[in-house]
Amino acid sequence: MRSLSMMLLLFSGAALAEAPQPAMPGMEHAHHAHAMRSWTDLPLLKTKAGGESRERVIVVPQNIVADAVDAYSNKLADENGRRRLPLDMAGAKLDKPASGGFHWLAAREEQGDEVRVASAVYYFGERGAENPTDMFITQKHELEIVPQPYPREHSRYRANEDWKFLVRFQGHPVVGQMVALETQNGTKSVWVSDAQGVVTVHLPDDFNAETDGKEIGGSRGMGMRGSDFVLAARRADGGKTYLTAFNAAYGKNAFDQRSIVMGLGFTLLGMLGAVPLLRQRRKKNDMPEQPEQTEQKEEA
Amino acid sequence: MLKKIFPTLGRFRFTVQIVMLFVTVYGGALLGSYTVDRISQALPSLSCAFDKTTGDHCILIVSQHQLHHRIGEALVKAQEITLKVFVPTLISVATFFAFFFFLNKAFCGWVCPMGTVQELLYRIGRRLGRPLNRFSPDNVERVRPVKWLMLLVLALGLPLMAGMGFAANELGDPYCQVCPSRLATTLLTADTEQIAVRTGKNINFFLGALGNAMFGFVVIAALAARQPFCRICPLLSWNAMFQRLSPMRLVKQQHDKCEKCGVCEKACPMDIHEIGREHGKKAFHEDCTLCGRCAEYCPDDDVIQIKFFGIKLFGSSREYYKQRVKQESPEGMPKNRVIWLKQAK
Ligand code: SF4
Ligand code: SF4
């Protein structure tokens, strides 16, 4: 973890970009940058369920001025493989394609010599959804932070875990790239990519009484409580600066609301219950005895 | 050549079991993260989705999930109950069957990691000189309905009721919460999260505690009894529902000597007494795991066979029997091998 000053240095440009933008004709409706006070200045894509249906999700960009959200499905070759979703006041509507599965979501803003990208992943549960590796590997923006891997179905980012991300510029891994982490719970830290362009980020265990209550939205939350984090990288190249952010939800650490002591205790109790079976009661082996009593007790 | 590597069906099955243990417990780590769960997502074996490196997951997690979130919720919202609500479940069951069709209950006897773990423990128990606690026919009869209860209540009924709002939401996956395979497979990957009991909600705590106790019981009991958990496993009963629909069969012919012999009964890890006393359909019992031990230990030619579409894959024979009992007793006691712990006299 690097110092906070480094972090400020890294993102000094980000604050500038947050200054009120001149509204562009016909785009006011899409300007979500200052709709609410955000926990970060970095560009974000929030997803929320689109009403009753499990087939639609609303994507809401924050801290970025964009007129559309690009959605890439894990079936890139398909007609729904790459979709441009128009933004209105509520956000962009992402409808579940028949193939379901992972979707890469991105909003891009280019103002003068500054390119800003917000990115996130959404997963529609669907049996037999295609392997999303191609979708993740395909170059989608100039500067990218690609999860390696993204948590698969039935799993998710959680506090106190290490997760890997590949940082790429124009499709090539970037060595020694600084990546900032900010969490909704208030942690800020900076990480650096290795010789393969991979940065290993430790998600902090920073939940406390105040940040406890929020539910993770979307299908991945599974009703569990959690919070959000965002990773961001900044890079200057050919007279332009690129700022790319990737955000996702993370849950509490694996052992939250679990007790290993009690778990072992009950396991031991069960073991003790079976110990009488181990005793030799007859001289001859393989004689019928009465294990059934204990078997049934377990089920009673 | 094949005969040299696998001189017995038992050796062949053991090899398959070990390979499948790796596929089901660590397969995801080898195949890549996103390939995980992509094999069938509806396996007829207790391959656990809570295991972060699993190669696939069992049909029961899918059916609980779908009954809870799809069917249960749709029923209570009095939405138009369209075919769409049932399609994912139908696809899951169809996928399950596409696999099950070929191997039938051999998914229990050859593939299931929980079945394999129990067999390994039993082998260890032999080396430790522990006794074999067998079920008498009467007691077997008494235990048999439990597996149907497990299926109907824990794997089907409660999730559906939870989805409809008649049971607590925490009862969406009650079977998973007590499943010993969840604990066995995650512990095999050195993950201690699952053995830590959930304390957030009373129901979860109660089910978790029960699951841990059952797991502890099974681990020790398996040292001195064969397949203690299998007998009440809801997947055994689920699989039994489809057992007659597969061309893979255990076939037993009527034979006069059976009445006095009964070696196959001794060899059967599920204590299926019908294998010795019945023939035809009744001999291929709902508890059968297609392990093939009865066919290995039947001392008469072709009385017991495993057949696929009527083609004999393996049949009992006097010659084979003579070789087999030299290595291992029907009850699984190894001959001429080291016993680590002398039996107490
Ligand atoms: S009966 Fe035994 S082998 Fe079959 S699924 Fe259950 S635990 Fe596995
Ligand atoms: S009846 Fe035969 S094949 Fe079936 S479980 Fe018993 S020994 Fe195995």
Q: With b meaning 16 or more CB within 10 Å and e meaning fewer, what string describes B128-149?
A: eebbbbbbeeebbeebbebbbe
pLDDT band at A80 (very low <50, low <70, confident <90, very high): confident
B131 and A274 in contact (C-beta within 8 Å)? no
pTM: 0.81
| Residue A294, domain member (yes or no) | no
B125/A74 Cα distance (integer angstroms): 49
- What residues have CB less than 8 Å from A171, skipping those under 6 apart? A139
Q: Nearest-CA distance from A279 to chain B in Å?
A: 7
Indicate the length of chain B as a whole number. 345
- In ligand 2, which atom is closest to the CA atom of B304? 2
Residue range(s) defining the domain that contains residue A150: 4-251
Q: What is the mean pLDDT of residues B219-236?
A: 98
In a domain, A50, yes or no: yes
On whether residue A274 sits in a domain, the answer given is no
User: What gap in Å lies between CA A231 and CA A103, rounded to an integer?
Assistant: 18
Is residue A296 one of the residues assigned to a domain? Answer: no
Give the Å distance between the CA of B275 and the centre of ligand 2. Answer: 7
Nearest residue of chain B to residue A258 (CA atoms): B198
Residue of A223, A258, A274 with shortest CB distance to B193: A258
User: To the nearest whole number, what is the mean pLDDT of chain B?
Assistant: 92
Tell me, using a 6 A CB cutoff, whether residue B235 lines ligand 1. Answer: yes
Are residues A270 and B213, on separate chains, in Cβ contact within 8 Å?
yes
Average pLDDT of every residue of chain A: 80
What pLDDT, on a 0 to 100 scale, did the predictor assign at position B80? 64
Q: Which of A1, A244, A276, A285 is nearest to A141 (CA)?
A: A244
Q: Is a pLDDT exceeding 90 seen at residue A50?
A: no
A162 part of contact set with chain B, CB < 8 Å: no
Q: Which two tokens stand for residue B142?
A: 């008494």
**A297 vs A38, residue with greater confidence:** A38
Judge whether A293 lies within some domain. no
Give the per-residue pLDDT at A32.
45
Q: CB–CB of A286 and B331 under 8 A?
A: yes
Give the atom of ligand 2 at the shortest distance from the alpha carbon of B295: 2
B-chain CB neighbours of A271 within 8 Å are 216-217, 219-220
Interval A245-290: pLDDT, tens: 999 999 998 888 899 999 999 999 999 999 999 997 654 444 444 4
pLDDT tens, residue by residue, A124-151: 877 667 788 888 999 999 999 999 989 8
Determine the pLDDT at residue A125.
75
Tokens of B107: 């998914």
| Closest Cα to atom 4 of ligand 1 | B108
Specify the CATH number for the domain of residue A118.
2.60.40.10
Is it the case that residue A292 has pLDDT exceeding 50? no
User: Residue A130: phi, psi to the nearest 5?
Assistant: -60, 150
Mean pLDDT value of segment A99-112 = 91
Say how far apart CA A156 and CA B208 lie, in whole Å.
21
User: Is pLDDT larger for residue A166 or for residue A4?
Assistant: A166
Q: Does residue A299 lie in a domain region? A: no
Q: What are phi and psi of A86, to 5 degrees?
A: -65, 145
Residue A73, in any domain of the structure: yes
Q: Can you tell me the mean pLDDT for A35-51?
A: 82
The C-alpha angle A30, A31, A33, rounded to 5 degrees, equals 140
Q: Give percent above pLDDT 90 in chain B.
A: 79
> Which residue's alpha carbon is nearest to atom 5 within ligand 2?
B288
Count of A–B CB contacts within 8 Å? 180
CB contact under 8 A, B209 and A154: no
Question: In this structure, what token pair is assigned to residue B25?
Answer: 């417990």
Examine residue A288 and state whether it is found in any structural domain, yes or no.
Answer: no
Strands (DSSP E) found in B222-315: 248-252, 304-308, 311-315
Give the model's pLDDT for residue A220: 39
CA distance B129 to B220: 14
Sheet holding B311-315, edge to edge: B248-252, B304-308, B311-315
What was the pLDDT predicted at A282?
A: 53
Nearest CB partner across the interface for A152, out of B34, B198, B231: B34
Q: Choose the most confident range, by mean pLDDT, from A54-63, B57-66, B83-92, B307-316.
A: B307-316
Residue nearest to atom 4 of ligand 2 (CA): B288
> Could you report how far apart the first and last alpha carbons of chain B are, in Å?
44
pLDDT digits (tens, 9 = 90+) for B26-68: 988 877 767 655 677 889 999 998 888 888 889 999 899 999 9
Please give the tally of structural domains in chain A: 1
- Tell me which residues have their CB closer than 6 angstroms to ligand 2: B 250, 267-268, 270, 272, 275, 288-294
User: How many of the other CB atoms lie within 10 Å of CB of A101?
Assistant: 23
Confidence check: pLDDT of B151 > 90: yes
Partners of A65 in beta bridges: A31
Q: What's the pLDDT score for residue A53?
A: 65
* The pLDDT value given to residue A52: 61
Q: Is B24 in the pocket of ligand 1 (CB under 6 A)?
A: no
Question: Does the structure show a pLDDT above 90 at A13?
Answer: no
pLDDT for res B345: 44
pLDDT at B252 > cutoff 70: yes
The percent of residues above 70 in pLDDT, for chain B, comes to: 94
Any ligand 1 atom below 6 A from CB of B111: no
